[in-house]
């Protein structure tokens, strides 16, 4: 097999050849943004590109019409490249997913051309909205590593994505007219009391924990004591363990409010995700290759935690990376019109090509060196701790390491 340097140079050459094609695709996605679950044109364009390069494409995976997988090769290791392509309603590609999709596509095509199926396999995963549904459908069960980048306002080697959950809080009381309010049990008063308790709770939350609530039901008439009130809280924490504690604390706030008012409380934990587990074996490799492309990363700023993206659940199943690369300077923010403009700017194009090359180089390294996959999985196993799902996954077989590999 040819030396690493030669393979890396070939990846760079392939990305150069793909430059106009990738930027044209990114521009098309940017010009015709599609919200989560409605990315029909994006999915059609991406799968057509992959099928034309010999990938075996499966559409509608995980029961999602705009999700897909595209595989090249059948052996191990299996390296997954993640593509996001959903836009934000009213803001377009204000998260830069047009760049995520184009860079992942470029990396997949370059890696395929360099190794041509001689070593392992490539798995491209098209993820509408986020990666949670494909994870639950088992799409990543055969993957040995998962690679994706994201545009941002910092260039960080990994992203501190917080654990998150949504909690629905419901109070049942007893309706009564204003002529005899003492005969009622005010469900809205209980909800307000719970909000007050959560506000007091914030003062003792650990760094990175957040609790933001809204009232979704609070009565139908000002002449009647409400017998039903409902609120929702978005909860974030640095780790899954801290999130579990935060959910327990918010539940206790509801129970205390019920005790004080006589209402009955119900707390339901809805959708959410774990925190992101960066695999340093892989993220260091990616950062090294990105530096060779002229972009240098640093670790994330201490005490900073980002919102979730769905890749957190992937990192529970398989060694994964999620670096940030700046398309705007610090002081700006994503999810803004300014960020959407940057996703179609010359700087965005530079980031797209550098990310594609660094992802492609990293994928080629993993395919050519099963020993590197073994190192990543060894670290993954060390990080598993008491997380049952993660520990079970960490016990899965990994590719055999050839002598001297």
Best-predicted range by mean pLDDT (2-11, 91-100, 263-272): 91-100
Give 264: exposed, middle or buried? Use CB within 10 Å, 0-12, 13-18, 19+.
Answer: middle
pLDDT > 90 fraction of the chain, expressed in percent and rounded: 75
What would be the CATH architecture of the domain defined by 4-161+276-394?
3-Layer(aba) Sandwich (3.40)
> Tens of pLDDT along 110-135?
999 998 767 789 999 999 876 678 88
- Rounded distance between C-alpha atoms, residue 30 and residue 22, angstroms: 12
pLDDT > 70 fraction of the chain, expressed in percent and rounded: 93
Q: Which residues is 225 bridged to in the sheet? A: 176
Angstrom distances, CA of residue 101 to CA of 96, 113, 162, 351, 389: 9, 18, 23, 13, 29
Mean pLDDT of the chain: 91
Q: What is the pLDDT of residue 117?
A: 60
* pLDDT interval class at 403 (50, 70, 90): very low
CATH of domain 163-272: 3.30.70.360
> Tens of pLDDT along 58-91?
999 999 999 999 999 988 899 999 999 999 999 9
- Rounded distance between C-alpha atoms, residue 157 and residue 252, angstroms: 38
* pLDDT interval class at 51 (50, 70, 90): very high
Q: What is the pLDDT of residue 389?
A: 53
Domain borders along the chain are 4-161+276-394, 163-272
Q: What is the pLDDT of residue 386?
A: 45
CB atoms within 10 A of CB 229: 24
Long-range Cβ contacts of 344-351 (<8 Å, 24+ apart): 344/26, 344/27, 344/30, 344/93, 344/98, 348/26, 348/96, 348/99, 348/151, 349/23, 349/26, 351/99, 351/151, 351/295, 351/325, 351/326, 351/327
Mean pLDDT of all residues in 386-396: 51
Specify the higher pLDDT residue, 154 or 399: 154
Task: Measure the CA angle with vertex 173, ends 170 and 175; round to 5°.
Answer: 130
- Rounded distance between C-alpha atoms, residue 309 and residue 334, angstroms: 13
Maximal C-alpha separation, the chain: 88
Specify the higher pLDDT residue, 258 or 311: 258
Please check the confidence at residue 394 and state whether its pLDDT lies above 60: no
Residue among 329, 343, 396 nearest 91 (CA): 343
> Tens of pLDDT along 332-363?
999 999 999 999 999 999 999 999 999 999 99
CB atoms within 10 A of CB 366: 26
**Cβ–Cβ under 8 Å, residues 290 and 354:** yes
* pLDDT interval class at 1 (50, 70, 90): low
> Tens of pLDDT along 139-174?
999 899 999 999 999 999 998 888 899 999 999 999
> Tens of pLDDT along 291-300?
999 999 999 9
- Rounded distance between C-alpha atoms, residue 337 and residue 333, angstroms: 10
Map residue 152 onto helix, strand or coil.
strand
């Amino acid at each position: 097999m040819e030396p690493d340097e030669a393979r890396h140079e070939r990846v760079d050459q392939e990305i150069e050849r793909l430059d106009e094609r990738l930027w044209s695709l990114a521009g098309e996605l940017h010009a015709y943004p599609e919200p989560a679950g409605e990315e029909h044109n994006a999915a059609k364009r991406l799968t057509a590109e992959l099928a034309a390069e010999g990938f075996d494409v499966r559409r509608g995976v995980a029961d999602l019409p705009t999700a897909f997988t595209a595989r090249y090769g059948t052996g191990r290791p299996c390296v997954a490249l993640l593509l996001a392509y959903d836009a934000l309603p009213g803001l377009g590609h204000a998260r830069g997913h047009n760049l995520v999709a184009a860079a992942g596509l470029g990396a997949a095509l370059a890696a395929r051309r360099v190794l041509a199926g001689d070593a392992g396999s490539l798995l491209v995963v098209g993820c509408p909205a986020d990666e949670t549904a494909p994870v639950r459908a088992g799409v990543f069960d055969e993957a040995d590593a998962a690679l994706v980048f994201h545009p941002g306002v910092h260039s960080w080697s990994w992203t501190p994505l917080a654990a998150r959950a949504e909690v629905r809080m419901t109070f049942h009381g007893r309706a009564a007219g204003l002529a005899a309010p003492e005969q009622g049990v005010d469900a809205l008063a209980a909800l307000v009391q719970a909000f007050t308790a959560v506000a007091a709770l914030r003062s003792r939350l650990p760094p990175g924990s957040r609790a933001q609530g809204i009232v979704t039901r609070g009565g139908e008439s000002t002449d009647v004591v409400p017998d039903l009130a409902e609120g929702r809280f978005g909860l974030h924490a640095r780790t899954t363990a801290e999130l579990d504690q935060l959910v327990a604390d918010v539940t206790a706030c509801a129970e205390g409010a019920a005790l004080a008012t006589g209402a009955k409380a119900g707390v339901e934990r809805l959708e959410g995700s774990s925190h992101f587990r960066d695999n340093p074996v892989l993220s260091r490799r990616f950062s090294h290759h990105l530096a060779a492309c002229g972009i240098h990363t640093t670790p994330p700023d201490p005490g900073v935690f980002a919102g979730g993206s769905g890749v957190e659940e992937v990192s529970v199943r398989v060694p994964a990376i999620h670096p940030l690369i700046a398309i705007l300077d610090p002081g700006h923010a994503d999810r803004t019109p300014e960020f959407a403009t940057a996703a179609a700017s010359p700087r965005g194009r530079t980031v797209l090509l550098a990310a594609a090359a660094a992802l492609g180089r990293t994928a080629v390294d993993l395919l050519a060196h099963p020993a590197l996959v073994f190192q990543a999985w060894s670290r993954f196993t060390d990080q598993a701790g008491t997380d049952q799902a993660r520990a079970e996954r960490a016990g899965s077989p990994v590719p055999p390491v050839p002598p001297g590999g």
